[in-house]
Amino acid sequence: MKANRNIEKSGSCIWIYVKAILAACVFALLIFIIMALLITYTNISESIIPMMASIVMVVSSLITGMVVGVKIKRKGWLYGALAGLVYILLIVFMSWVLVADFSIEKIVLIKSLLGIIAGGIGGMIGVNLK
């Protein structure tokens, strides 16, 4: 228990979140590269891109929660959901900056909620991993 309190007090908790988000970003990048290669060199339609992007976002949030849960070892649902929230906010911010006609609509809010829930589930899984 003392080790967990030291993590939160020392500020290294922030680095846990940074590492978790970087792991999720690397995962997403690898999946998007594979998707791009498959779409380019096979007969797979480009119409799957929005669905796959949503799936990758949810799985990346799950990974973020798992990494945080493994490192912090307690309250996985809370810390995982927080990690999922930070990851989703990063995606929404990048979309707002990079996409010309981006607006927060109902679907963005639903995907955000799914990302937070996936992060919480990932945190619960991460706490129980050894």
Query: What is the per-residue pLDDT for 70?
Result: 93
Query: What is the per-residue pLDDT for 9?
Result: 52
Query: What is the per-residue pLDDT for 32?
Result: 94
pLDDT by position in tens, the chain (length 130): 455 554 545 568 889 999 999 999 999 999 999 999 999 999 988 899 889 999 999 999 999 999 999 998 888 899 999 999 999 999 999 989 998 888 888 988 999 999 999 999 999 999 998 6
Query: What is the per-residue pLDDT for 6?
Result: 47
Query: What is the per-residue pLDDT for 129?
Result: 87
Query: What is the per-residue pLDDT for 11?
Result: 61
* Of 117, 3, 121, 127, nearest in space to 74 by CA: 127
Q: What sign does the dihedral 109-22-20-121 (CA atoms) show?
A: positive
Q: Which amino acid is at 53?
A: A
Q: What's the whole-number average pLDDT of the chain? A: 88
Percent helix, strand, coil in the chain (nearest 5)?
85, 0, 15
Query: What is the per-residue pLDDT for 78?
Result: 93
Query: What is the per-residue pLDDT for 3?
Result: 52
The full set of domain ranges for the chain reads 2-128
